[in-house]
A and B are shown apart, each in its own frame.
Chain A
Amino acid sequence: MWLVKIYVTLKKGLLDAQGKATQNALESLGFKEVEEVRIGKYINIEMKGQNQQMVIQRVEEMGKKLLANPVIEDFNYEVEVLK
């Protein structure tokens, strides 16, 4: 079994209204060092797969077909062996 940690984020350059609002809130709490906040989605998938390469291939397909909208979002992931 494999554990895939998937991160879906708004593309760089697009206004992340949630991130901006959160950044403002952090600043008002005194966290003046915060430069930028971007909010995305974290998706955890446990899945079967013969080897890492095949898992990556399937995950790429999932990203393209459903998990991210390439018009506005970037799609990144990490694959680990699930013990």
Chain B
Amino acid sequence: MKFGVIQFPGSTCDYDCFYALNDVLKVEVEFIWHKQTNLEGYDGIILPGGFTYGDYLRVGAIARFSPVMSAVIDYASAGGLVLGICNGFQILTEAGLLPGALMRNNSLHFICKYTYLKVENNQIPHTGSCKGGQVLKVPIAHGDGNYYIDNYGLSELIKNNQIVLRYCEEDGEVTSKANPNGAVYNIAAICNKEGNVLGMMPHPERCVEDCLGSSDGKYIFNSLTSFIKKG
């Protein structure tokens, strides 16, 4: 089993993703420079968080045209597992692999704190090790995490079970108070219709050991590795 973590100019969470997979989960992982155009041999591709191209123009707008992104689109279309975290999520929406867009937080503040997330869909490879309705404690760190989609798009997401994680209270209740950034429907993570591409604003790679305040991020990575092992 081998994962690839894409490094764009301005990626900042690439080493955290590498550490989570290599040191904590003990699986093989390689960095992929954004100029690479071949993704053969990887069981999963991760687009890490950061500030690719300085967030110029719009978050993720320039990275979306990095040479590796055509390969990511082909990889995803062929059913390959893709996980976009934070800026990675923003790049996936810009690339059209996921619907909607990430806007400036409604408070205008950059928010870095632990949040609680309710697992709305545990039927995809990225959340298969979670129980339905389980609450995960995972931190966010973003200025542009305010997920937007129009009403029709939201109804499609709900109908197709594409909403994977929602911001909630510690007990799992989804409230407007628990919404850190103004995201439509408290959305923290969505997947594509096929369920092989997940974008999430919270950072699972930042909470893979108890000393970090939570190890719930392991649920995401364990779900992926269990899915791959099952073949």
Contacts and interface: CB of A to CB of B under 8 A. Distances in A.
A72 interface: yes
Contacts of B182: 15, 17
A18 B104 contact: yes
Contacts of A66: 57, 61, 65
Contacts of A17: 104-108, 182
B58 A69 contact: yes
Contact of A72 (B99, B103, B107): B103
Contacts, number: 33
A18 B26 CA distance: 44
Interface string B115-137: 00000000000000000000000
Interface residues of B, number: 19
A67 B57 contact: yes
Q: Is the interface of B mostly helix, strand, loop or mixed?
A: loop
Interface in A11-30: 14-15, 17-18, 21
A41 B105 CA distance: 18
A15 B182 CA distance: 10
Contact of A15 (B57, B99, B106): B106
Contacts of B93: 71
Contacts of B185: none
A14 B58 CA distance: 16
A72 B106 contact: no
Contacts of B101: 69, 71-72
Contacts of B106: 15, 17
Nearest to B182: A15
B149 interface: yes
A6 to B, nearest CB: 11
Interface string B123-158: 000000000000000000000000011100000000
17 contacts: A10-B103, A14-B103, A14-B148, A17-B104, A17-B106, A17-B107, A17-B108, A17-B182, A21-B108, A66-B57, A66-B65, A69-B61, A69-B94, A71-B100, A71-B148, A72-B103, A72-B148
Given A21-B108, A71-B99, A71-B150, 6 more contacts: A17-B182, A66-B57, A66-B65, A71-B100, A71-B101, A71-B148
Interface of A: 10, 14-15, 17-18, 21, 41, 66-67, 69, 71-72
